[in-house]
Amino acid sequence: MKNIYKLWMVLFAFIAAASVITSCTKENAKPAAASSSPKADKIQPDSAKGGDILTLTGSGLGEIQSVVFEKGNVPAPFNTVFNTGNALIFRVPDTANGGKQNIIITNKIGKQVLVSFNVIALPVISTVSNYNFTGNTEITITGNNLADVTLVKFKGFNDIIDIVSQTKKEMVIKMPANSTVPGAPLEITNATGPVTTTQVFENIDMAYKIFTDGYGADGWANNSWGPATISTTVSKSGTASFAATYGKGNWSADGFSNWWPGLASKPEYQYLTFWVKGASQDYTLYLTADKRPKGYGNNDETTPLTIPANVWTYFKIPVSTAALWSTGNTLNTLGFWIKGPNDRDETFYFDDVIIVNQ
C-alpha cells in the first residue's frame, strides 16, 4: 500500500511540474508579429457556405486585423487566439455573397494578402406571395441570396420568367404571358448555381376552375346555407373572392354547386387547391362534398382545415385525400362547414378554388 501511495505522489508531482512549465511557456510566448510580406499558401476548403470553418496556412500571417469577403465587402469576425504566424482560422460569414471572389486579409501594419475562394450561397426560398398565376402576374419571393439571381424558369420547360426587381432578401418576378405550362416548380439560378423550389406554381388558365374571379364557367354557382356572395373588395388573386358568412350558433356549410353537367372524375386531376382568408379568430373548417362518404355538410370531420385569423392561407389537398369522387364519378357540390361559430357571425373569403394536375 505504501508503494502505491508513493507512486501516486510522484505522479502528482510530475503532473504539477508539467503544468507549471506549460503555464510559463504560454505566458512567455509572444504572438507572431505582423509581416511586411504575408503569404498565403493554401485555404481549406476552397469553397464553402455561410457558417463553415476555414483554415488558411502560409507564412507571415501574424497579427491579422481584418478578414473581408470581396463581394459586397462582407467582414468575417474571427478570434485572434486562432491566429499564428503560419495559420488563421475563421468562418464564412452567413451574409457572404455567393460566387468566386477574393478574401482580403489585412494585418496590423496594413499589408494585405488575397486568397481566391468560392462562396456557396445558393438561392433560398422562404415564402412566396402566391402559388397561382395567370399571364403577367407578379409574384414576390422572399428568402436569401436573391440579389445575384440571373435566371428564373419553370423546371422542365423553356419559359423564361422576368425578374422585375431583386435584393438579397427579396425578388419580384413576372410570369410569362400566354404560358401553356400547367404548373411546375421554379428553377432559380444565381452565381453559385441553380436550385429548384419545393413549391409548385399553378397556371390558373390551365387548371379546372370552380371559383377564381367568379364561378366556373361550366355551371358552377353558390350553394351556401348562409349568406354568401362574390366580393370585389377582398381577393388573393385577380379582383374578387367568394365571401361566405357563417351565422352565430349554427353548424352550417357554404360552398359551390354544379348540378349540370357536374364535374366528372379524370385521372389527371391530382390536387384540389384554394386560398382562404380567415375570420376574426382562428377556426377549423371541414371540407365537404356530395360524393364524399358522408355527403355534403353532414358532420364529416375527416378533412379538417385550420384557418388562422385575418390572413390568407393556402391549401393543396391530394384528390385521394379530398375523396371528391368516393361515392360517384360526378361531383355536384363542394364546400366547407363549421361547428359554430359561437360568439358572432363570421365571414371567410375563398379564392382560386381550382383542381390541378400536379
Show Cβ contacts of residue 351 under 8 Å, excluding neighbours closer than 6 positions.
211, 212, 235, 236, 237, 238, 240, 241, 242, 274, 275, 277, 312
Question: What is d(CA 271, CA 267) in angstroms, rounded to the nearest whole number?
Answer: 11
Please report the pLDDT score of residue 298 as a whole number.
Answer: 77
Question: What is d(CA 59, CA 87) in angstroms, rounded to the nearest whole number?
Answer: 8
The H or E element spanning position 27 is helix 2-28
Backbone angles phi, psi at 10, to 5 degrees: -65, -45
Residue with cell 438561392: 123
CB contact at 8 A, 53 and 91: yes
Question: What is d(CA 21, CA 2) in angstroms, rounded to the nearest whole number?
Answer: 29
Q: For residues 178-205, b (16+ Cβ closer than 10 Å) or e, as one string?
A: ebebbbbbbbbbbbbeebebeebbbbbe
CB contact at 8 A, 224 and 206: no
Please report the pLDDT score of residue 299 as a whole number.
Answer: 85
Sign of the CA dihedral with 307 first, then 308, 313, and 317 last: negative
In this prediction the pTM is: 0.83
Question: What is d(CA 188, CA 7) in angstroms, rounded to the nearest whole number?
Answer: 69
**Which residue in 139, 157, 150 sits closest to 189, CA to CA?**
150
Q: Is 21 exposed, middle or buried (0-12, 13-18, 19+ CB in 10 A)?
A: exposed
Please report the pLDDT score of residue 11 as a whole number.
Answer: 35
Question: What is d(CA 324, CA 272) in angstroms, rounded to the nearest whole number?
Answer: 9
The H or E element spanning position 132 is strand 132-133
- CATH number for the segment(s) 124-200: 2.60.40.10
- What is the chain's pLDDT, residue by residue, as a tens digit (358 residues)? 444 334 333 333 333 334 433 444 444 456 799 999 999 999 999 999 999 999 999 999 999 999 999 999 999 999 999 999 999 999 999 899 999 999 999 999 999 999 999 999 999 999 999 999 999 999 999 999 999 999 999 999 999 999 999 999 999 999 999 999 999 999 999 989 999 999 999 999 999 999 999 999 999 999 999 999 999 999 999 999 999 999 999 899 999 999 999 999 999 999 999 999 999 999 999 999 999 999 998 789 999 999 999 999 999 999 999 999 999 999 999 999 999 999 999 999 999 999 999 8
CATH 2.60.40.10 for the 35-119 domain, yes or no:
yes
Please report the pLDDT score of residue 331 as a whole number.
Answer: 98
Q: Is 66 exposed, middle or buried (0-12, 13-18, 19+ CB in 10 A)?
A: middle
Peptide bond into 308 cis (omega under 30): no
* Kind of pairing between the strands at 112-120 and 47-49: parallel
Please report the pLDDT score of residue 29 as a whole number.
Answer: 53
Structural domain boundaries in the chain: 35-119, 124-200, 207-356
Please report the pLDDT score of residue 7 as a whole number.
Answer: 36
Question: What is d(CA 353, CA 220) in angstroms, rounded to the nearest whole number?
Answer: 11
Same fold, 35-119 and 207-356: no
Q: Is 192 left (phi over 0), alpha (psi -120 to 50) or beta?
A: alpha
Which parts of 205-329 fold into alpha helices (H)? 319-322
CATH superfamily of 207-356: Galactose-binding domain-like (2.60.120.260)
